[in-house]
A and B are shown apart, each in its own frame.
Chain A
Amino acid sequence: MNIYVLLKRTFDTEEKITIAGGKINEDGAEFIINPYDEYAVEEAIQVRDAHGGEVTVISVGNEESEKQLRTALAMGADKAVLVNIEDDVEASDQYTTAKIITQYLKDQEVDLIIAGNVAIDGGSGQVGPRVAESLKIPYVTTITKLEIEGTKVTVIRDVEGDSEVIETTLPLLVTAQQGLNEPRYPSLPGIMKAKKKPLEELELDDLDLEEDDVEAKTKTIEIYLPPKKEAGKLLTGDLHDQVKELVTLLHTEAKVV
């Protein structure tokens, strides 16, 4: 089975966000595999181990993304593809990323594509379904379980807390929700092996794409931090009085009840 994973390099969850020159300041920040994409990598490895085949991890980004791709290889993926758009694309959005990934995948034999349901930085969750639409294959988002039997696939989809049991077929794209699995940590032998695994680096040219073909359809005109919250009011005194005061404050000052 040919399994592809869509992976994005993102800020570490714990990082403090600051702005420099109108952009998110990346200096000194730690980067990780987007946590939802980590579920995708893990699931792909498990599917391959159960059904055979090969796991290829794809990322659209810059040369820095190689580190996260190596981590996926260390977890157990077989191959990685990095489409480096740093020199070619000035402004990208989800349209750009989906177009590039589709262009790569349309020439591959694809049985299963797994992506994270959303990236924790941009938070759009668009690329997976966009790619499925362009490849004309079915997709199911926010899945918490995946079972494959021949070409028949049964998935459980999380829908705002409810679960749907869905039957569909390969080829298929799914996006991972928390609860799908527990991603493994790369083992030391895994890390050693990963260094020798193939990592192909491509640019737009290699995919027969021009910058115009992937030009963003949207543009960010401003990035800002939320206004600093003033220190909250810690109530004091007798507990009963505190509760009374709180209710009064919520009613008359905050006016939310």
Chain B
Amino acid sequence: MARKVLVLGEVRDGTLRNVSFEALSAGKTIAEGGEVVGVLVGESVSALGQELIQYGANRVVVVEHAKLGQYTSDGYSQALWAVIEEEKPEGIVFGHTALGKDLSPRIAGKLNSGLISDATAIEVAGGNVVFTRPIYSGKAFEKKIVTDGIIFATIRPNNISALQKDDSLSGEVHSLTVDIKDLRAIIKEVVRKASEGVDLSEAKVVIAGGRGVKSEEGFEPLKELANILGGAVGASRGACDAEYCDYSLQIGQTGKVVTPDLYIACGISGAIQHLAGMSNSKVIVAINKDPEANIFKVADYGIVGDLFEVVPLLTEEFKKLKINA
């Protein structure tokens, strides 16, 4: 059954986030041969429209307004709502990002629809669009379908493959004028704490440090390794509580959930709360002095040793590999 599916392109620092391309791929699956319409919301974002098309959108609707420069639930929901009323989609996909988590339940509430949050896989089976999503912090999975109304889902970054970009594609980028009324919550200031560079929740490689890192300086070798691999640095709650790093790096049940291709845990014991944030990573490497550490139970590869010896050696070896490649 062909459906028209809206996919929100999420812009951060002037570029589209990776998860938007993954969302287009998800949108295509849900559309079952129907139209995938990309949506861009912001102050000046229309130039990004063609990129959405190259990643699978058939066309793009843009809502630009001075009040949409920063994400606010009030501003974005007015913009999205106008697009929904005009397009009358049968499916909607957002990334399961801070923005998607904040906005999607509100839109679903207004639509009186269901919403499947944090999907990690989508397939069409037995006449249904079936979503897979982790529950109980990744300790189990459920398959879910929509039984009534619009098929609305948010997808977890790094799990659904984006389509290959096709530079030869081009399509219509249409601008929709929306009168954005008063915002009831105003952002006064943004304090940037998340480290520059690779976004932790979207990183393909994550190098994480625990209490074993011992100090703020102790994170330096981890940063070097992350640089070589084009990855991001993360941390366990223990390292954050000990003030070795900012809480913005925390991975775990009460932090970020990451599913990179490669997760290297350095000096992390592997408390169950930490595992909740990373156990679905594709490949896990554990480096720990304690051979009994719990982290070895979920690791694909383990080295028993001092991270301050192992990590710099690893950086050197990866450097060699990069040079030879």
B56 interfacial contact with A, CB 8 Å: no
Q: Determine the residue in chain A with the shortest Cβ distance to B254.
A: A178
Whether the Cβ atoms of A166 and B186 lie closer than 8 Å is: yes
Whether the Cβ atoms of B140 and A226 lie closer than 8 Å is: yes
- Report A-chain residues with C-beta under 8 Å of the C-beta of B134: 123
B184 interfacial contact with A, CB 8 Å: yes
| Count, A-B residue pairs, CB within 8 A | 255
Give A239 to B145 CA distance when docked, in angstroms: 50
| Interface residue count on the B side (C-beta < 8 Å) | 92
Closest approach, in angstroms, between the C-beta of B221 and any C-beta of chain A?
A: 13
Give A164 to B247 CA distance when docked, in angstroms: 15
Closest approach, in angstroms, between the C-beta of A244 and any C-beta of chain B?
A: 6
Give A160 to B102 CA distance when docked, in angstroms: 12
Contact of B190 among A162, A179, A240 (CB under 8 A): A162
Contacts known (A162-B248, A221-B144, A234-B302); A239 close to B313, Cβ less than 8 A? yes
Whether the Cβ atoms of B190 and A164 lie closer than 8 Å is: yes
Complex interface bits, B292-322 against A, C-beta within 8 A gives 1, otherwise 0: 0000111111111100011001100110010
Whether the Cβ atoms of B247 and A218 lie closer than 8 Å is: no
B82 interfacial contact with A, CB 8 Å: no
A222 interfacial contact with B, CB 8 Å: yes
Whether the Cβ atoms of B199 and A126 lie closer than 8 Å is: no
Give A141 to B185 CA distance when docked, in angstroms: 11
Query: Which one of B44-52, B103-111, B164-172, B208-216 is at the A interface?
Result: B103-111
A188 interfacial contact with B, CB 8 Å: no
| A116-153 CB contacts (< 8 Å) to partner B | 120-134, 138-142
Give A229 to B280 CA distance when docked, in angstroms: 10
| B85-126 CB contacts (< 8 Å) to partner A | 97-98, 101-102, 104-106, 108-110, 112-118
Q: Determine the residue in chain A with the shortest Cβ distance to B286.
A: A232
| A239-257 CB contacts (< 8 Å) to partner B | 239-240, 242-244, 246-247, 249-251, 254, 256-257
- The 6 A-B residue pairs whose C-beta atoms are closest, nearest first, are A161-B248, A217-B114, A161-B194, A133-B109, A129-B105, A168-B185
Excluding A216-B114, A217-B148, 6 further A-B contacts by CB distance (< 8 Å) are A124-B117, A161-B193, A161-B194, A222-B142, A232-B296, A239-B313
Cross-chain pairs A/B with CB under 8 angstroms, 25 sampled = A11-B136, A13-B272, A17-B140, A19-B140, A94-B114, A94-B115, A98-B109, A122-B135, A124-B115, A130-B105, A160-B194, A160-B199, A161-B194, A217-B114, A223-B141, A225-B139, A232-B296, A235-B303, A239-B310, A240-B313, A243-B317, A246-B285, A246-B314, A254-B301, A256-B205
Measured CB to CB, the residues of B under 8 A from A are 73-74, 97-98, 101-102, 104-106, 108-110, 112-118, 128, 130, 133-149, 184-194, 199-201, 204-205, 229, 246-249, 253-256, 261-262, 272-273, 276, 280, 282-286, 291, 296-305, 309-310, 313-314, 317-318, 321
